[in-house]
Structure 1
Amino acid sequence: MALTGIIEKTGTGFSGYFKEVDGVASVGDSLAEMKENLLEAIQLKLGTEDVGEIDYVIDLEQFFEYYKVINKSAFADYIGMNRSLFRQYASGLTKLSDKKLQDITTGLQRLAKDFGDVVLVK
């Protein structure tokens, strides 16, 4: 059974819960801490360490609020999207189509892969 972990940015960190399982939620000061705590909570609920695949989801606005280090205009260029329109999407000012959301998600995954392939030298 694949689980969907819903992530929400809070004033002090993050909270999360599972879409498919009632009564399992957690918080954390960082995204990594919240995911670790949420995993522990579902393991306790299910009585096993093997909980299967977890897909974590967060909305676009909250994602870019947390990852301020990602320049929205430069990222829009990276994925071939209009800068102004992308900033409107990332700020929640303009509604995203499913296609645009998939394009942005694919772009983020490509960027993560690009970073994962890099080795810095001096």
Structure 2
Amino acid sequence: MKTTTKKIKIIVEKTDTGFSGFCENYPIFTTGRTIPELIENALEAANLYFEDDNLKLTHDNLKFELDFKQFFQYYKVLNSKFLAEKIGMNPTLLSQYVQGHKKPSKKQTEKILYGIHQIGQELSEINLIYRH
């Protein structure tokens, strides 16, 4: 099997039992109780679909999209007020995006995503210690 640089966009939606994911360009559908489970199942489903083409996909080939409201409902640990302050955005405006009352522009979306990635990077570089 050969690897590919093909990018597959998976749209993620919250369901009563977890999450579902689907691709707009290929007949790839899957579910998972959690986001990590959905990601693993989506990779397996994509590899099954492209098996006849002799292609092997990795996590790098998949791009997951989740709307703001669902993102903040799942990642409750991320406080929208903290994020707004971190990226220099009005907290009320970000709250309206999170609640689905307003839709952010492409530029605002990129700013928010950049802030989320920054926080993720900071967290990934922290080592916690336990002292008795």
TM-score (norm. length: structure 2):
0.85
1:116 is aligned to 2:116: no
Distance 1:70 1:111 in 2: 9
RMSD across aligned C-alpha pairs, in angstroms? 1.4
Deviation at residue 16 of structure 1 after TM alignment: 0.2
Native 8 Å contact 1:2 1:55 kept in 2: yes
Report the more deviating stretch, 102-111 or 66-75. 66-75
Distance 1:118 1:83 in 2: 26
2:82 is equivalent to residue 74 of structure 1: yes
Q: What's 1:51 paired with?
A: 57
Q: CA deviation at 1:50?
A: 1.6
**Matched residues, number:** 121
Per-residue Cα deviation, 1:26-62 (whole angstroms, up to 9, x for no partner)? 0011011111111111111111572251111111111
SS of structure 1 residue aligned to 2:31:
strand
CA distance in 2, matches of 1:91, 1:58: 14
- Tell me if structure 2 keeps the 8 A contact 1:73–1:83: yes
Larger Rg over CA atoms: 2
Which has a greater percent of strand?
2
Helix, strand or coil for the counterpart of 1:93? coil
| Corresponding residue for residue 63 of structure 1 | 71
User: Once the two structures are aligned, what percentage of the paired residues are identical?
Assistant: 34
Aligned-partner Cα distance in 1 for 2:93–2:85: 11
Identify unmatched segments of 5+ residues in structure 2: 1-5
Tell me the equivalent position of 1:5: 10
The separation in 1 between residues aligned to 2:68 and 2:46, in whole angstroms, is 25
Q: Give how far 1:20 is off.
A: 2.2
Q: 1:91 is matched with which residue: 89, 99, 102?
A: 99
- Per the alignment, residue 45 of structure 2 pairs with 41
Measure the CA separation in 2 of the matches of 1:43 and 1:95: 34
Query: Structure 1 regions of 5+ residues with no counterpart?
Result: none
